[in-house]
Amino acid sequence: MLTRTAEEKTESMEVSHPLVRVHPPTGDRALYLSSTRLDHIEGVDLAESDVLVDELFEHSIQDKFVYHHEWRVGDMLIWDNRCTMHHANGDYPRDESRLMHRIMIEGETPV
């Protein structure tokens, strides 16, 4: 399991989130995981939590669950953070400029 650096932990406050979230429009359940933000599962022994988090993360990144976008000029991607894990792959030319905008829409408290 990837963990945050001491500096990252100092810069951000501790926040609890449900491990499984319900997507309000559909009622579907989705894992709410982050390889850099999830420290442990509350109420579970730390060693057991680490094993479970590793297993869940490995399960979630199987090829059958992963979409990899082949970027073309003019492309735009939109995803719903309530049910999608995302990660920048760095598979673009470093000498080319990229324009990115992040839009956050206020929503409901996770359940």
pLDDT in tens, 36-79: 778 889 999 999 999 999 999 999 889 999 888 888 888 888 88
What is the model's pLDDT at position 87?
76
- CATH code 1.10.3090.10 for 1-111: no
86 vs 44: which has the higher pLDDT: 44
Structure confidence by residue, pLDDT tens digits, 16-31: 888 888 888 899 998 8
pTM recorded for the entire structure: 0.68
Hey, where are the domains in the chain?
1-111
Task: Record the tokens describing residue 69, joined without a space.
Answer: 């976008």
Candidates 41, 49, 100; CA nearest to 76 is 100
In the predicted structure, residue 35 carries a pLDDT above the cut 60: yes
